[in-house]
Amino acid sequence: MSTASPVPTVRLLVGPAEADEQVVRRWGGRALGLLARHAPDAASMTAAVAPAGLDGEAVASVLGELRHRLRSAPASEVWFDLAEAPAGDPAGATTAAAAAAVGVAAARLAGLAVRGEVAPVRLGLRLGDPGTGGTALEAALEALVTTAERGADAPEVELGALPERLLVVVPGPGGAPGAAALAALERSRGLPPGWLQERAEPSARSAPVLSSAQEGDAAAVRGVWAEHARLVLKARVAGLDPGVERHPAHLVARHLTDLVLAAG
């Protein structure tokens, strides 16, 4: 196995309820916990993902590197989901307060990189319904810029920074704000032209998301690993983008599959 192979982009899709600067480290830790609980050795991991068609010897050979990635670089990109309604919101729309909290989290997550801590390379905001997505984007962007501008005046634990670029992820047709709208947002906040970059969301399936109770069920966790590994493998073989990871269990299958392919 070559550990010098480039690491493919791994994206987390994070809802407002989990939006904070420790989300990457937390998801990596939860993924490691699931590994320790439900696949503590090579035999159990190999058996878990066998339905996906991954070679057993290759799986066993990359487990050390899998654990290393989950500890040191669980994800290279985080998308905060402005389309997901926060808990207790009967209207089903992201509130301005939730969007602002997402902006604060994005700035503090970028601030981790300034301190040399585990942080993603890129950040994005995933838009929701065309009727509310623009409002949520404005609230999140205002909070992000304000938090970043506190700079050295902020306590270290609250240190924020502007990411080099911010992706505006459009999940479907009809939701794109357009270049003119993004340029106007940049000007209104003193951001350089092109800082906001529109990105279409990959149309890729992912395995089911586990509930907290299901995370303790070995059969449920292993089933998600097998299904997600199968989907990632299918996408990679077809030369397609595997999409985003929606649960820490997905990180195990995603990194494992990419490592097996790189080792082959």
Closest C-alpha to 255, from 39, 31, 38: 31
Q: Which pLDDT band holds residue 1 (cuts at 50, 70, 90)?
A: very low
143 contacts 100 by C-beta, under 8 angstroms: yes
Cα separation, 156 vs 223, in Å, equals 41
Give helix 130-149 / helix 179-188 axis angle, nearest 10°: 30
* pTM, rounded to two decimals: 0.89
Please classify residue 127 by burial: count the beta carbons closer than 10 Å to its beta carbon, then call 0-12 exposed, 13-18 middle and 19+ buried.
Answer: buried
Give strand pairing partners of 125: 80, 168
Q: What percent of the chain has pLDDT over 70?
A: 88
Query: Which DSSP letter does residue 138 get?
Result: H
Any idea which of 19-33, 58-72, 82-96, 146-160 has the lowest mean pLDDT?
82-96
Task: Count CB-CB contacts under 10 A for residue 239.
Answer: 6
CA 74 to chain centre: 9
CB of 82 closer than 8 Å to CB of 102: yes
- For residue 209, what are the CA distances in angstroms to 37, 218, 263? 18, 14, 28
Report residue 113's pLDDT band, with 50, 70 and 90 as the boundaries.
Answer: confident
pLDDT of residue 70: 96
Tokens representing 150?
A: 């506190």
Contacts of 213 (CB under 8 A, 6+ apart): none
